Amino acid sequence: MKVAFAFLLAIVATTAFAVASPTSVDHGGTYVGSVVVESGQTVDGDVDVVLGDATIDGTVNGDVNVLGGNIINHGRITGASHAVGGEVVGDIVPWAPSGESYGGYMADHRLWWRITWDIIALVVFLIFPLRTRMALDRLEQHPAIATLAGLCGWVAVIPVSLLLLFSLILIPLIPVEFVLLAVASFVGKAALALLVGRRFYELIAPKATPTPLIALVIGLALLTAAELVPVLGIMITLLIMLVGLGAVLLTFVPDWNVPGAPGASGAPPRGAIGGPPMPVG
């Protein structure tokens, strides 16, 4: 458990550092994220920065201390300068977008929104472990069919909404449709994260099998890092949405006639993912 959360923390912390846009400061204090002392600006007091760079173009009458970043000094610092852990970020997450690549608002929220979705996916897994395990099984058996089912599911969203709208009586079901779609999307992402996390864990520790929660945390961290890749990350996000929703939709077809599918006659049972026992229905 500690390994999984440490892995997630490393991805979050280093990527957050990489995407943070600098904030202009005019007084001493402690700041989270990159800061800059503008040219011609004088700051009285110590400047302490956590998980960000301190760019000094003006004057700081005091010390500059940075944890998880670098000191970029083009001005004057009258006190001492201390920086711990900066350059290593670029080596760990080289694909993470820099603050110059995006606007300040987008750079910050692009990461934090994905972390929020990951937390929701984790909560959804804890609420619907059975459905997530079933989706994982479908995904492992037939990923191509899951992708096709997800495409059909997303295409059907608007027509189904229009049918409910034109029926008048069923209009209250439109919000229910979108709530179910959101829940299914998070269940599907959790299932995909379980698969990715388990494969990665077994790659680095072939003789060990992770518990579902550890596999999920590792998988979510890896998927989030992949989604942050410029340009390619958009396609990865779309693929996650397609495959995840499709895998969940297939869980509602227990007797589908696909050779080797769970529930099909004569199909050998699929080994469960490691960790505490969970029923798979």
What digits encode the pLDDT tens for the residues 84-120? Answer: 655 544 444 444 444 433 333 344 456 777 888 899 9
Is 243 found in the same domain as 120?
yes
Last residue of a domain, one of 92, 122, 138: 92
Element (H, E) at 178: helix 173-204
Rounded to whole angstroms, how far apart are CA atoms 257 and 260?
A: 9
Last residue of a domain, one of 38, 57, 92: 92
Quickly state the pLDDT bin for 171 (edges 50, 70, 90): confident
Report if residue 228 sits inside a domain: yes
Is 83 found in the same domain as 180?
no
Question: What residues contact 267, with CB distance under 8 A and at least 6 apart?
Answer: 259, 260, 261
- Residue scoring higher pLDDT (11 or 220): 220
Report if residue 260 sits inside a domain: no
Model-level pTM?
0.55
Is 237 found in the same domain as 167?
yes
End-to-end CA distance of the chain, in Å? 26
Name the residue type at position 159.
P
Say how many domains are in the chain. 2
Is 186 found in the same domain as 162?
yes
Expressed as residue numbers, the domain containing 55 is 22-92
pLDDT tens for 111-160 read: 777 888 899 999 999 999 999 999 999 998 888 999 999 999 999 988 88
Report how far apart, in Å, the C-alpha atoms of 214 and of each of 4, 137, 275 are: 5, 18, 9
pLDDT of 195 > 90? The answer is yes
Range with the poorest average pLDDT among 37-51, 94-108, 164-178, 187-201: 94-108
Is 116 found in the same domain as 74?
no
pLDDT at 69 (0 to 100): 76
